[in-house]
Amino acid sequence: MKVWLDGRIVPGDEARIPVTDHGFLYGDGVFEGMRVYHRRLFRLEDHLERLATAARSLALDIPGGIAGAREVALQTARAFGRDEAYLRLIVSRGEGALGVDPTTCPTARIVCIADEVRIYPEEKLRAGISLVTSSWRRPPADVLDPRVKSLNYLNNALAKLEARQRGADEALMLNDRGQIAEAAVANLFAVRDDVLLTPPAIDGALEGITRRSVLELAERLGQPSAERSLGRFDLFAASEVFLTGSGARIVPVGSLDGRRVGGEERPVTDRISQAFVPFTKEAGTPIDG
Ligand SMILES: Cc1ncc(COP(=O)(O)O)c(C=O)c1O
């Protein structure tokens, strides 16, 4: 692991941040999870734009602006040196008083972590992962907007914990109206009547970069798709269900709450997954400049 911290790149076990950093004390900050494929940072500009929008919504200034964040991400990826990597870019409110007041934090802190990619084993992906419906709902936008990828992931962490304690791989999260929002740290897609469906962001989903890529690939492939509110009924009725995220990319779902979902064949998931492979070569910024 390599970490960019306070202007230097250090090995993971040497990276330390002060305990008065409000990212640590209060989850006050934003982050991005990105992938390097073939020495290219996948959809870097989209990640930077989402980071900047999220930071703006929290009145948080990114040190060095977007250009600074871009340079930090590319330098960290280069220092890690692998062709494939997972990158975590973090902007925290920075050090301040022990109280919650963000105005006591004069300078935001930017950190970038590069590490190996960890994904589900092949057999698991073939069988499809197990989902359980979380008893934790996604918070409404006037509580904590799920479109902001903030450092406050307690809602997601508790949903994931509940899923693991119930013997499942991932948590399905509903919004306060009982509609499907997303999984704890991934977006959700379902195929019904040959149409690829995903909940709109307004239902409590992050506007995932992988989600956007899947919708773009579907269009290129002539696969009909739509953003539509979904309930658990739609997943039980679906012929295919999968999750998307930068780390694991496209992950088939095999069961929900102990019941099988989807069929043995997954033609839409397979086509999109295959089309994603060349996409990772064309839609990335070279890390070597
Ligand atoms: C809550 C949540 N939803 C969805 C996603 C997937 O987004 P992306 O494809 O940009 O990684 C993530 C990624 O970490 C996430 O944390």
Local confidence band at 282 (pLDDT 50, 70, 90 cut-offs): confident
Atom of ligand 1 nearest to the CA of 182: 3
- 115, 134, 166 - which closes a domain: 115
Mean pLDDT of 90-113: 98
Which residue's CA lies nearest to atom 15 of ligand 1? 185
Residue 8 reports pLDDT greater than 80: yes
Question: What integer pLDDT is reported at residue 228 of this predicted model?
Answer: 98
**Residue 149 among the catalytic residues:** yes
Question: What integer pLDDT is reported at residue 248 of this predicted model?
Answer: 87
- 56, 84, 115 - which closes a domain: 115
Tell me the C-alpha to C-alpha distance, in Å, between residue 6 and each of 20, 94, 104, 107, 141. Answer: 15, 11, 19, 11, 33
Q: pTM of the full predicted structure?
A: 0.97
Answer whether residue 79 is part of any domain: yes
Pocket lining: 262 vs ligand 1, CB cutoff 6 Å = no
Local confidence band at 13 (pLDDT 50, 70, 90 cut-offs): very high
Question: Quick one: 107 and 131 in the same domain?
Answer: no
Answer whether residue 271 is part of any domain: yes
Indicate which CATH number applies to the domain containing 187. 3.20.10.10
Please write the tens of the pLDDT for every residue from 102-126: 999 999 999 999 999 988 999 999 9
Please write the tens of the pLDDT for every residue from 187-227: 999 999 999 999 999 999 999 999 999 999 999 999 999 99
Question: Quick one: 185 and 108 in the same domain?
Answer: no
Q: CA 191 to CA 53: how far, in whole Å?
A: 31
* DSSP notation for 146-177: TTS-BS--HHHHHHHHHHHHTT-SEEEEE-TT
Local confidence band at 289 (pLDDT 50, 70, 90 cut-offs): confident
Mean pLDDT rounded to a whole number for the chain: 97
Question: What integer pLDDT is reported at residue 50 of this predicted model?
Answer: 98
- The strand pairing partners of 250, in sequence order, are 244
Answer whether residue 287 is part of any domain: no
- CB count within 10 Å of CB 256 equals 20
Answer whether residue 83 is part of any domain: yes
- For residue 184, the enclosing domain spans 122-282
Taking the CA atoms of 22, 245, 117 and 41 in sequence, report the sign of the dihedral they define.
negative
Single-letter code of the amino acid located at 106: P
Mean pLDDT of 243-265: 96
Atom of ligand 1 nearest to the CA of 246: 11
Residue 283 reports pLDDT greater than 90: no
Question: Quick one: 189 and 234 in the same domain?
Answer: yes
Answer whether residue 160 is part of any domain: yes
Pocket lining: 210 vs ligand 1, CB cutoff 6 Å = yes
Please write the tens of the pLDDT for every residue from 151-172: 999 999 999 999 999 999 999 9
Please write the tens of the pLDDT for every residue from 36-49: 999 999 999 999 99
Domain count, the chain: 2
Local confidence band at 251 (pLDDT 50, 70, 90 cut-offs): very high
Ligand 1: distance of its center to the CA of 156 in Å? 11
Answer whether residue 78 is part of any domain: yes
Answer whether residue 288 is part of any domain: no
Pocket lining: 245 vs ligand 1, CB cutoff 6 Å = yes
Pocket lining: 206 vs ligand 1, CB cutoff 6 Å = yes
Q: CA 227 to CA 191: how far, in whole Å?
A: 12
Local confidence band at 31 (pLDDT 50, 70, 90 cut-offs): very high
Question: Quick one: 258 and 155 in the same domain?
Answer: yes
Question: Quick one: 32 and 110 in the same domain?
Answer: yes
The answer to whether 49 and 17 have CB atoms below 8 angstroms apart is: no
Question: Quick one: 128 and 255 in the same domain?
Answer: yes
Question: Quick one: 146 and 75 in the same domain?
Answer: no
Residue 284 reports pLDDT greater than 80: yes
Question: What integer pLDDT is reported at residue 101 of this predicted model?
Answer: 98
Q: CA 117 to CA 82: how far, in whole Å?
A: 10
Residue 244 reports pLDDT greater than 80: yes
Question: Quick one: 169 and 91 in the same domain?
Answer: no
